Amino acid sequence: MKIEWIEPSLIDLENIRDYIGHDSEYYANRFIGKIIEAAESLEKFPERGRHVPEAEAENIRELLFYNYRIMYRVEKDRILILTVIHGSRDLSQKKFKPWDVV
């Protein structure tokens, strides 16, 4: 399966990098690299992540990485990375859910 990052997920990575980068650019880049590695590991094991509790669709899953939730959609030939969001964020308050974007 092919991994594809949609635009909102790339913006999430930039925001995380910028936030951590205020303290250390080195660690910010290193952390983003590890998030990407974790997401890329889904290529071989897409069912590894758990179902997103807030989503009703079976193909919406998430991989927990430290305090972040890497949410993705499993499709026939690809895995779409939908968002990378801090675990403390309350998705119930968001008008549009990450899985509604695409």
Task: Provide the CATH number for the domain around residue 23.
Answer: 3.30.2310.20
Please check whether residue 99 lies inside any domain of the structure. no
Domain assignment present for residue 66? The answer is yes
> Does 101 reside within a domain?
no
Q: Return the axis-axis angle of helices 7-21 and 25-40, rounded to nearest 10°.
A: 150
Q: What is the pLDDT of residue 1?
A: 83
pTM over 0.85: yes
Task: Tell me whether strands 2-5 and 78-86 are parallel, antiparallel or unpaired.
Answer: parallel
CA angle at 87 for the pair 85 and 92, rounded to the nearest 5°:
80
**Structural domain boundaries enclosing 7:** 2-88
Residue 73 within a domain: yes
Mean pLDDT of the chain: 89
Please indicate, yes or no, if residue 95 is contained in any of the structural domains: no
97 is a domain residue = no
Residue 94 resides in a domain: no
What pLDDT, on the 0 to 100 scale, is given for residue 84?
Answer: 95
Low-confidence ranges of the chain (pLDDT < 70): 92-102
Number of domains in the chain: 1
Decide: helix, strand or coil at residue 21: helix
Q: Is residue 8 one of the residues assigned to a domain? A: yes
